[in-house]
Amino acid sequence: MIRVLILSASAFALAVPAFAQPAAKVAAANKAALREPSSAGFVRAVQIYPYSEGALYRLYAAPERVTDIALQPGESITSVAAGDTVRWTVGDTTSGSGASQRTHIFVKPFAAGLRTNLVITTSRRVYHIELESRSSGAMAALSWTYPKDELIALRRQQDAAAAAAPIASGLAVDRLNFNYAISGDKPAWRPLRAFDDGRQTFIEFAPSIAVGEAPPLFVIGEDGEAQLVNYRVAGRYYVVDRLFGAAELRLGGKKQKVVRIEAAQPKRRKGK
């Protein structure tokens, strides 16, 4: 009987750390994900956090003080859920109109020394906020910057600038030769025209080429065989560092689309 009790006690002692491990892991993960207010993050009275998916954001509140949580302009609420809805008041409203309309969520605790969490789901993302009430020192407001959105916007600006930039420097307009014929299939990526400056050949596409699959370019040799040629993409142009008599754009498998580009032969003068 004594042996059984000893074995049972030993098994219980071994089991306690095993049960405690998940809680410790959760606590460690939450601590690592928690973002606290910083002096550098304040713009006047508003704490601005850089948004990161999965992060926890600290909000310090106080009794008889309302803290404003401002979402991104144009972002709409799907749901708001608080862990403690008895001792915390949570409400929402909007400011502005049209594309600049902004959603605001107000939180206020009934007493100091309270802790709970708030989950806000929107049309764009999810916010996880850790609420803590104190007797004083409430945050007036908090909002976020969105590095991923800003990066996407910057890339779009760069792409637009690249598309609007000259395709090559030093082009002499009076020397451009537009005597090229385009024939064959009519896919969405069919080029608008081709021309050369006596040294390079330029193939111009519609702006939609930037969002679709681009066809590779083959130059047709004197033997009639197609061979890949080096070219670079500049906005919606293919730039080939040579001249050619004929070339083809090809894309697809069994039902391959082929567009042929041919340089028109210069007309011979009479008597020559």
Condensed to tens digits (0 to 9), the pLDDT of residues 206-226 reads: 887 877 788 999 999 888 888
144 with 68: CB under 8 angstroms?
A: no
Show Cβ contacts of residue 148 under 8 Å, excluding neighbours closer than 6 positions: 51
* Helix, strand, or coil (residue 4): helix
- Asked whether the predicted pLDDT for residue 169 surpasses 70, the reply is no
Tell me the pLDDT tens digit for each residue of 2-41. 444 444 444 444 455 555 678 899 999 999 999 999 998 8
194 with 204: CB under 8 angstroms?
A: yes
40 vs 134, residue with greater confidence: 134
Phi, psi for residue 190 in degrees, rounded to 5: -55, 130
Q: What is the DSSP letter of 177?
A: B
Q: In what order do the strands lie in the sheet with 77-82?
A: 34-35, 56-61, 126-133, 115-122, 77-82
- Asked whether the predicted pLDDT for residue 185 surpasses 90, the reply is yes
Mean pLDDT to the nearest integer, 188-211? 88
- H or E stretch including 18? helix 2-33
Show Cβ contacts of residue 181 under 8 Å, excluding neighbours closer than 6 positions: 261, 262, 264
Question: pTM of this prediction?
Answer: 0.55
Computed over every residue of the chain, the mean pLDDT equals 85
Check residue 272 and give its pLDDT.
Answer: 45
Report residue 257's pLDDT band, with 50, 70 and 90 as the boundaries.
very high
Check residue 170 and give its pLDDT.
Answer: 59
Report residue 166's pLDDT band, with 50, 70 and 90 as the boundaries.
low
